[in-house]
Amino acid sequence: MCGIAGQFSKSGNPVDISLLKQMSKRIAHRGPDGEGLYSDNYIGVIHRRLAIIDLSDDAAQPMTNEDESLWLVFNGEIYNYLELIDELKKLGHVFSSHSDTEVILHAYEQWGVDCLNKFNGMWAFALWDKKNQTLFCARDRLGIKPLYYAVADGAFFFASEIKALQAHERLGKKPNDAKVLEFLAWGAADHSDETMFEGIYQVKPAHYILVTAQKEIIQKKYWDISVNPAFFSKKQDDPESAQRFMILLKNAVNLHLRSDVPIGTCLSGGLDSSTLTVLINEQNARHSKDPVTGKQNTFSACFDDERFDESRFIDIILKKTGVSSYKTMPDGRALLDDVRNLLYMNDEPFASLTLYSQYCVMREASKQVKVVLDGQGADELLAGYIAYQYCHIKGLTQKGHLFAACEELAGTIRHHRAFLKYLIQQVFARKSRRSLLKGHVMPFYRYKGSLDQALYEDLVAKNLPYLLHWEDRTSMAFSLEARVPYLDYRLVEFVASLPQDQKIRKGITKFVLRKAIKGLVPEKIRCRMDKKGFSTPEEVWMKNELREEMLRIFQSDSFQQRSYWDASAVVQDYQKFLDGKILYSSELWRFACVELWLRMFIDAPLATVKST
């Protein structure tokens, strides 16, 4: 886990070393354990190191091969690096370190760009092929690790975070108005290669870019998934599917525990994180000779308000496993002190204050460990969001499975009645607040198609990439590596291949997971249907602790002059919410967040370096 950045000058001008150093400073939080720079006329790359595997100087970056024809900067982890080292050694490759970074160099020597299909992990890297005068940039299959790029002054620039690219005098100085409006209207971001900064793009998940000596920029997708559209399993398939799921999940967890530094676990009290905690505990018990030093550290967010607090579920897991527990108590007043750093670390505005709980958990975890495992991705993989029920029922109805559709509808009402009421209210509240926007807003359909279509879109574009953006930034803000075992590509491919009733059955979400962990995870958690995750009392804070700050923002001259919204109408809407006349929705937070973002990154951006 690290920070990377670089410049490939295609115009014939040498790279700008002072600019590279400034880019390095802006992502120093991603790698406090070391820094490095390599430059050679038209190419320059920098690296900020967070040492996780092979802590010696042998694993320092930029890393080169034996004849110095390849130079690599890498952010992430190749979890199957030990297996690949064995394979590559049999093919004649000689290793000088015990790092997963060196595996990428030798894999590229052996297989070229097809090396990406060999890796199991999370990665964003840039590899300079000196012989072919080609820059090879790649991002992992699901987009767990970030990689941004831009072109200016005849040069190709890349970086782990947008703020590093903004060090250039011409990059990221204007907002991408269309994407800002999409975010305000729908809370949508990271669903395309465009960012909210004009001229700055992201390498999409499962894509690589080749920048050639002929000044071409070639983009290619190297991996995809196919989500099974079939509705029904055979009854005898249930035990087999659950068994296969558990084998893959256990193996993913084991791989994700490979580290030369302490590892912890994010524990929300929900189904996904509780399952990970129990599995990790079993793994530790098998391999640790000392029950004290082998004890798992867990990190949780708790609240005084019982509507948002999950302490009772967290305590069930603590009692079962005996793990160490570290709890943090996010509150609205502390948020006032933290919000600007939270925004700075994310580079782009964020859709809701749920992110703040995750931020607080990562901060607490960083005091004890350098790596955490988290349950991110399970909802998109296993149809954990209640809105997926709509797609499922609609698909059954359209294909003539009316009895099954009625069963699903009855199950949805039985298990999720309270949430359905809230959801219907939110649909109208959000639609009303979208009328406060100015300009043309592109439609954004998350649940338009069948369940298989909705799951595919959420996994590759419409939801998971945005959540992984949060995962990366909230952890790296504290120089902490976050790992997500549910997104092991083998598990993703397997679950995607399952029929829909292995994901939703009679209103029960994540069916195959619940089946697989019976007897492993306590029943009070295994049978939970009230999804929360690291939630926050956003509405309460917006009415109380954040009230004065929100009014200052909405009534400010800069907010009143923006072209994105009817400022007077926003103020009136917020006041009606404060007076209890209308319902809350997160659009109100997004108005304020975009204003703060514009002030920080556009109105008065950080000092930039003029390119030479």
Number of structural domains found in the chain: 3
Q: What is the pLDDT of residue 612?
A: 39
Q: Which residues of the chain are under the pLDDT cut of 70?
A: 288-294, 531-535, 606-612
The verdict on 130 and 141 lying in the same domain is yes
Helices in 81-202 by DSSP H: which ranges?
Answer: 81-90, 100-111, 162-165, 177-186
Q: Give the C-alpha separation, 177 to 180, whole Å.
A: 5
SS3 content of the chain, % helix, strand, coil (to 5): 45, 15, 35
The verdict on 526 and 547 lying in the same domain is no
The verdict on 46 and 179 lying in the same domain is yes
The verdict on 326 and 362 lying in the same domain is yes
The verdict on 528 and 599 lying in the same domain is no
* Of the residues 161, 195, 221, the one at which a domain ends: 221
| Residue 367: CB atoms within 10 Å | 12
The verdict on 7 and 152 lying in the same domain is yes
Calculate the alpha carbon distances from 473 to 22, 225, 331 in Å: 19, 26, 20
Q: What is the pLDDT of residue 393?
A: 97
- Token duo for residue 17: 């070393």
Q: Tell me, yes or no, whether 425 lies in a domain.
A: no
CATH code of the domain covering residue 372: 3.40.50.620
* Of the residues 487, 515, 536, the one at which a domain ends: 536
The verdict on 510 and 546 lying in the same domain is no
The verdict on 19 and 75 lying in the same domain is yes
Q: Tell me, yes or no, whether 510 lies in a domain.
A: yes
Q: Give the C-alpha separation, 397 to 147, whole Å.
A: 41
Q: Tell me, yes or no, whether 24 lies in a domain.
A: yes
The verdict on 337 and 205 lying in the same domain is no
pTM (two decimals): 0.96
The verdict on 157 and 294 lying in the same domain is no
Residue span of the structural domain in which 317 resides: 237-386+452-536
Q: Which of 231, 212, 276 is nearest to 249 (CA)?
A: 276
Q: Tell me, yes or no, whether 19 lies in a domain.
A: yes
Q: Tell me, yes or no, whether 418 lies in a domain.
A: no
Count Cβ atoms within 10 A of the Cβ of residue 570 and give its class: 0-12 exposed, 13-18 middle, 19 or more buried.
Answer: buried
* Beta bridge partners of residue 156, listed in sequence order: 8, 151
Does the active-site annotation cover 2?
Answer: yes
CA atoms within 13 A on the CB side of 567: 17
Compute the Cα dihedral for 276, 282, 286, 292 and give only its sign.
positive
Q: What is the pLDDT of residue 214?
A: 81
Residues 471-513: tens digit of each pLDDT = 999 999 999 999 999 999 999 999 999 999 999 999 999 999 9
Residues 6 or more apart from 572 whose CB is under 8 A from it? none
CATH code of the domain covering residue 95: 3.60.20.10
Q: Tell me, yes or no, whether 366 lies in a domain.
A: yes
Q: Tell me, yes or no, whether 416 lies in a domain.
A: no
Q: Tell me, yes or no, whether 64 lies in a domain.
A: yes
* Of the residues 536, 571, 596, the one at which a domain ends: 536
Q: Give the C-alpha separation, 8 to 157, whole Å.
A: 6
